[in-house]
Structure 1
Amino acid sequence: MDLAIPPHTLLLPIDPGLWPPPSGPVRVDDTVYAPKRELHVTLIGSRLGSELNATFETAFLQEEITRAMAAREWRFERTGRLVELAYPSCTAGITNCQAPSRRSVIELIDLPAMRGFHQTLGALLGRQLPVPPPHVTLYTAHDPGGIGLASPLQLRTRRLRALRPEAMQPPG
C-alpha cells in the first residue's frame, strides 16, 4: 500500500486508474469549484496527528501505525453520495471579515477499515476517538486544501446539502 505522509497526517492515495480526478471545474449555483488534482482519503488528520506525534516517540508511533495499517484491508467502495460542505474562512471573533467561506464537494465512501484503525489509535491514547467519515474531496472553492472532517459531528455541522451529479454544471 502506498501512503503519503505530510507532517502529522496520514493519507491513503487513490490510484487515478481506479478513480480518476475530476477533469475540470464545475459550478453549483453561484459557486465555481476547482477540481482536486489528486484524490486521497485522510486517515489521520492534522490535529490527531499532532497529538500522536507529541505523545509518542517517532519510532514507536511509526511502528504502531504500520502494524495497525497492515492489520486491515484498505479497500473502499464508492457510494455516489455527494455532499457540499462549507466552513468559515475567518477565525471566530474577527469582525469585518470579508473572506468567503471555504467550500468543498466530497463523495462519501464505504471504508470499513477506518473504524478499527481509529479504535487502535484511541487505545494508544487511552480514549475513544470519533471515526472520521470516510470521504474523498473532489472539488474545492475559496481554498484548495478542502475542509477537514474529523468526526460525524463535523460532517453534520459543515454540510450544506446533499448534491445530485446534475447539480454540478460546467462554469459559464
Structure 2
Amino acid sequence: MIPSDDRRPSGHHAPSATPWPGLSAHDTLTVPVCGPDWALPCGERIVDGLVFVPKAELHITLAGRDAIAAIRARHGGPGAETLLRSAFAACDWRYRRTRRFLRLRRPQPPGPDAGSIIELLELPGLATFYRALADTGTPRPVPPAHVTLWTHARPQGIGVADSDALAALCVREVSLDELGLTRI
C-alpha cells in the first residue's frame, strides 16, 4: 500500500504498484500498512476511562468476510478469486491519512463492549474496486477506508461494513493530544 505523495497533481490515478495480497486466513482482503509513518507511541492509551492497546498489525480491509462470501456465492471459488484479483489490479491503492481518529464501540454481550480507535483514510481506489465488483453482478456497499490502531476487549478490532455501520458504532472523534500523537 502506497501513501499518497502530496506533490502529485490531484486527479492522478496511475495503476497501483501494490502487489496482490491474497485472501487472509479469515477470508478477508486486506493490505498491510507499515513504515515510519505508522509507528505508534508505545503502550496503551486511556480514552474515556477505557484501556486501548496497540493493534499487533496494521492493515486496511478492502473486503470483509461478508463481501467475500457474497462474491464466492455469485462467482464460485476460482471465479471469485479471479474477479477479486482483476478488480484489485485495476485500482490505484494510494491513500492519504486524514488525521481524523474515531472511537468505536460494539456491544459484546455478556462481556465488556468491544472498542477500537481508528484513523479514517482517503482511498479513492476503494470505490473504484467496489464499482468493478458491482459491474460483475456483486454490488456491495463501500466500507469506510480506515486503519484500526488501538483496540479494547477485542484484539482484532471491530468490522465496519459501510458508512451506516460506522455511524452506528462511532462514539466520538478523538484528538491527537488524547492519543499522544505529536506528528503523523
Q: TM-score range by the shorter chain?
A: 0.7 to 0.9
Aligned residue in 2 for 1:31: 50
Aligned residue in 2 for 1:94: none
- Identity of aligned pairs, percent? 33
Aligned equivalents of 1:14, 1:69: Cα separation in 2: 16
Aligned residue in 2 for 1:134: 145
Q: Is the 8 A contact 1:22 1:138 kept in 2?
A: no
Aligned equivalents of 1:126, 1:162: Cα separation in 2: 33
Q: Is the 8 A contact 2:70 2:138 kept in 1?
A: no
* Equivalent AA in structure 2 for residue 130 of structure 1: P
1:163 maps to 2:174? yes
Aligned equivalents of 1:30, 1:59: Cα separation in 2: 47
Shift of 1:152: 0.4
1:148 maps to 2:166? no
3-state DSSP class of the match of 2:38? coil
- Tell me the TM-score normalised to structure 2 length: 0.81
Moved runs in structure 1, 4+ residues, more than 3 A?
Answer: none
Shift of 1:21: 4.7
Aligned residue in 2 for 1:93: none
Aligned equivalents of 1:76, 1:126: Cα separation in 2: 24
Aligned equivalents of 1:74, 1:106: Cα separation in 2: 19
Residues 95-133 of structure 1 deviation map (CA, whole Å, 9 limit, x = unaligned): xx3x11100000000000000101112222354x21110
State how 1:1-172 maps to structure 2 within 5 Å.
1-2=18-19, 3-6=21-24, 7-90=26-109, 97=110, 99-127=111-139, 129-168=140-179
3-state DSSP class of the match of 1:145? coil
Aligned residue in 1 for 2:11: none
* Equivalent AA in structure 2 for residue 147 of structure 1: I
CA 1:125 to 1:163, structure 2 compared with 1: closer, same or farther past 3 Å? same
Shift of 1:42: 0.2
* Equivalent AA in structure 1 for residue 80 of structure 2: L
3-state DSSP class of the match of 1:153? helix
Aligned equivalents of 1:132, 1:22: Cα separation in 2: 27
Structure 2 portions without partners, runs of 5+: 1-17
Q: Is the 8 A contact 1:41 1:134 kept in 2?
A: yes
Shift of 1:58: 2.0
Q: Is the 8 A contact 2:74 2:138 kept in 1?
A: no
Structure 1 portions without partners, runs of 5+: 91-96
* Equivalent AA in structure 2 for residue 55 of structure 1: R
